[in-house]
Amino acid sequence: MPSPWSPRREVSPQTSRLLIERAHDELVLGNPGDERLRDVRPLVRESWRRSLAGMVGAEALPPVALTAEELEEYRRTHPLAGALEMIRALLLPGDAADAGVAVAVGDAAGRLLWVEGDRHVRNLTGEMGFVAGANWSEAAVGTAAPGTALALDRSVQIHGAEHYNRLVQPWSCTAAPVHDPETRRILGVIDVTGGANAVTPQAQLLVDATARAVEGELLVARLRAREQAASPARRRPRPPAAEPTRSTLRVLGRSRALLEVAREGGDTVTELSARHAEILVMLATHRQGLSAEALADLVYGAGAGPETLRPEMVRLRKVLERVAPHLVPASRPYRLLADLETDAHQVLSLLDRGAHRVALAAYRGAVLPESVGPGVEDFRQGVHLALREALLAEARVDVLLAYADTEAAADDAEVLQLCLRLLPSRSPRRAGLVARLERLEG
């Protein structure tokens, strides 16, 4: 089936890109009365003002609002999950990997749940945080089709320079909200992001039609479910809903980890000892469980023996019983019975989703940098190598330059040389990179 996103002649915005960029800069710099703003579309101008009033950063990466585990669970229960195949069929017919656009489905809060479509487009847009789990509401990233469509409760097209966030300005997008077919409350949003082909009049008609088709399908599915539920033989008691709990262990750039536990009714943050942090990192990394001998070797080194580990496990259990009883490890083997996410695993998840810029921003340093536990050292090295290899293989030059400025890449000649190869010949950054390489070689 031919793609509906075949290249078309670019749709000219109402004003030149340069004029829009200058008007945007004047607003962000605190000149809301600049006359150039009158030439910007009212829809965009008002969205810019909402973004400015909400103190949205003009170059801020969108926050990743859902961890990999939360995203997976949320997808399973979201009302739009059952309509995903219809959305793919209408917006990504044929070979989705070469469609020329990325198609995203988000929830009513603007959090992206699925991002599919053209591989190249997804790799590039991933650099600005356009990935599953990220928050693309107006309050998070400013003017962009997904968030603005939700804010206005109508379909919206945003052309390149009309985006409030400068990182998003190379792209254009069309989005439409999806409503509950009976209550009309917003369930989510469908977005198409790409080049000029993503903001044609045909693109808006297609995205609108897809949203309406999804609403019709939801209504049909709901009526069928009611018909089935009317039969007493088919009724089943619903299981009680579990209290939502999120536990995160922050170990990047920290010698003493922070354990954050979020629950209904309040969050808790507890600083752990270095040894307790090492044990929890190993249990979070080895979800299948570890024998006492294996865990002792990973934390203390070969030959330490279970008798060295057991007193520390008793102390750790006492701490966890007080602040996070759901994380008290089981024995034989030692293992966690509840989910524990580490910020290091979040970085790895972002790399898997192609969000290299966001992953680099989230990488706040090495895993427990002062730890000499063999298992922690291996994990520390693995996280750093995964970040480095992903950036060397796929990242844009601006992301590589940001990585080159970190402590992790201070003496990495290969990173510096790749930056030089990718930079334009007249870039002012070249001199500093050359000087650093000369110091390394000397």
Pairing of strands 172-179, 156-158: antiparallel
Overall pTM surpassing 0.95 (yes/no)? no
- Average pLDDT rounded to a whole number, residues 73-94: 90
- Average pLDDT rounded to a whole number, residues 225-230: 77
The answer to whether the CB of 145 falls within 8 A of the CB of 175 is: yes
- Residue 178 counted as domain residue: yes
Q: Quick one: 171 and 195 in the same domain?
A: yes
317 pLDDT above the threshold of 90 = yes
- pLDDT tier, 265 (very low <50, low <70, confident <90, very high otherwise): low
Q: What is the pLDDT of residue 356?
A: 85
Q: Quick one: 271 and 195 in the same domain?
A: no
The string of pLDDT tens digits covering residues 110-151 is: 999 999 999 999 999 998 999 999 999 999 999 999 999 999
Residue 335: closest CA among 398, 375, 390, 287: 287
Average pLDDT value for the chain: 87
Q: What is the pLDDT of residue 241?
A: 40
**SS3 of residue 53 by DSSP:** helix
Percent of the chain residues topping a pLDDT of 90: 56
Q: Quick one: 292 and 164 in the same domain?
A: no
CATH code for position 303: 1.10.10.10
More confident residue, 32 or 40: 40
Q: Per the structure, how many domains does the chain have?
A: 3
The answer to whether the CB of 207 falls within 8 A of the CB of 190 is: yes
Q: What is the pLDDT of residue 9?
A: 45
- Residue 234 counted as domain residue: no
Q: Looking at the DSSP assignment, which residues form a beta bridge with residue 261? A: 247, 268
236 pLDDT above the threshold of 90 = no
Q: Quick one: 211 and 260 in the same domain?
A: no
Residue 74: closest CA among 1, 2, 15, 132: 132
> Could you tell me the residue range of the domain that residue 395 belongs to?
347-358+381-441
The answer to whether the CB of 281 falls within 8 A of the CB of 368 is: yes
The CA-based angle 180-185-189, given to 5 degrees, is 75
Tell me how far apart the alpha carbons of residues 193 and 125 are, in angstroms, rounded to a whole number. Answer: 9
Dihedral angle sign, alpha carbons of residues 270, 271, 276, 281: positive
Q: Quick one: 263 and 181 in the same domain?
A: no
The string of pLDDT tens digits covering residues 386-416 is: 999 999 987 788 888 889 998 889 899 999 9
Q: 138 CB contacts (<8 Å, ≥6 apart)?
A: 47, 50, 51, 54, 56, 110, 144, 147, 148, 150, 151
Residue 100: closest CA among 228, 200, 7, 165: 7
- Residue 129 counted as domain residue: yes
* E strand residue ranges, 61-155: 102-107, 112-117
Q: Quick one: 86 and 182 in the same domain?
A: yes
Pairing of strands 266-271, 172-179: unpaired
**SS3 of residue 182 by DSSP:** coil
- Residue 253 counted as domain residue: yes
How many whole angstroms from its chain centre is CA 349?
9
User: In this structure, what are the phi and psi dihedrals at residue 174, rounded to the nearest 5 degrees?
Assistant: -130, 135
421 pLDDT above the threshold of 80 = yes
Asked whether the bond before 237 is cis by omega within 30 degrees of 0, the reply is no
Q: Quick one: 166 and 291 in the same domain?
A: no
- Residue 10 counted as domain residue: no
Q: Tell me the two tokens of residue 357.
A: 């810029």
Q: Quick one: 214 and 139 in the same domain?
A: yes
Neighbours of 431 (CB within 10 A): 9
**SS3 of residue 311 by DSSP:** helix
Domain boundary, last residue among 197, 229, 261: 229
Q: Quick one: 42 and 127 in the same domain?
A: yes
The answer to whether the CB of 358 falls within 8 A of the CB of 347 is: no
- pLDDT tier, 264 (very low <50, low <70, confident <90, very high otherwise): low
**DSSP secondary structure letters along 362-424:** H--SSBSTT---HHHHHHHHHHHHHHHHHHHHH--HHHHHHHHTSGGGTT-HHHHHHHHHHS-
Q: What is the pLDDT of residue 20?
A: 65
Q: Quick one: 290 and 389 in the same domain?
A: no
Burial group, residue 245, by CB count within 10 angstroms (0-12, 13-18, 19+): middle
The answer to whether the CB of 379 falls within 8 A of the CB of 390 is: no
- Residue 142 counted as domain residue: yes
Least trusted range by pLDDT, from 106-110, 158-162, 243-247, 392-396: 243-247
Q: Looking at the DSSP assignment, which residues form a beta bridge with residue 262? A: 246, 267
- pLDDT tier, 272 (very low <50, low <70, confident <90, very high otherwise): very high
- Average pLDDT rounded to a whole number, residues 9-26: 54
Tell me how far apart the alpha carbons of residues 253 and 274 are, in angstroms, rounded to a whole number. Answer: 13
Q: Quick one: 260 and 119 in the same domain?
A: no
Tell me how far apart the alpha carbons of residues 442 and 436 are, in angstroms, rounded to a whole number. Answer: 10
